[in-house]
């Protein structure tokens, strides 16, 4: 099994379409999809993000980091939330991504999440992270 993150990205247009949808209807669509993944035993975590106008960007392009309030005018696609799945293959992750209840103009990026076992185990920082993960029940 491997972990894959399904990163939901939307545009101003898909966000507007989503905002037109009654909240109870959205909860129903997403709830049914989440329930399917739970029953299949692949869902590890899932979260949506708040309105982008409530966020900030910390930009490291200058010598000192610059903080800018949202919304982000030049951004064409905003990261709106994610699913973290534990599946057998990238192909299976893609099949789940194709079933996400999304609005026209949305995109879902599928990215593998490397496991800690893929990093050098003799590295002190990896060893410390492994201890933390064991202590918190993550491995």
Over residues 71-90, the mean pLDDT reads: 83
Q: Is the pLDDT of residue 84 over 60?
A: yes
* Domain of 53, in residue numbers: 2-114
Over residues 92-112, the mean pLDDT reads: 94
- What pLDDT score was predicted for residue 75? 62
- Between β-strands 43-48 and 107-113, what pairing exists: parallel, antiparallel or unpaired? unpaired
- What pLDDT score was predicted for residue 125? 95
Domain count, the chain: 1
Over residues 9-38, the mean pLDDT reads: 90
Residue 124 placed within a domain? no
Please report, for the domain that includes residue 18, its CATH number.
3.30.70.1060
- What does pLDDT average to over the chain? 90
pLDDT tens digits, residue range 34-75? 999 999 999 999 998 887 778 888 889 999 999 988 766 556
Residue 128 placed within a domain? no
Of 43, 29, 136, give the one whose Cα is nearest residue 84: 43
Residue 7 placed within a domain? yes
Between residues 105 and 7, the one the model is more confident about: 7
- Contact yes or no for 30/101 (Cβ under 8 A): yes
């Amino acid at each position: 099994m491997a972990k894959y993150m399904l990163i939901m990205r939307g545009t101003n247009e898909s966000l507007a379409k989503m905002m037109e949808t009654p909240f109870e209807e959205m909860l129903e669509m997403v709830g049914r999809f989440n329930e399917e993944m739970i029953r299949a035993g692949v869902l590890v975590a899932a979260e949506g993000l708040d309105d982008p106008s409530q966020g900030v960007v910390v930009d490291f392009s200058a010598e000192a980091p610059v903080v800018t309030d949202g919304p982000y005018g030049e951004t064409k696609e905003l990261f709106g939330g994610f699913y973290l799945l534990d599946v057998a293959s990238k192909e299976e992750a893609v099949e789940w991504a194709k079933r996400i209840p999304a609005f026209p103009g949305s995109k879902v990026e599928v990215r593998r999440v490397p496991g800690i076992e893929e990093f050098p185990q003799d590295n002190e920082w990896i060893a410390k992270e492994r201890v933390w993960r064991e202590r918190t029940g993550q491995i």
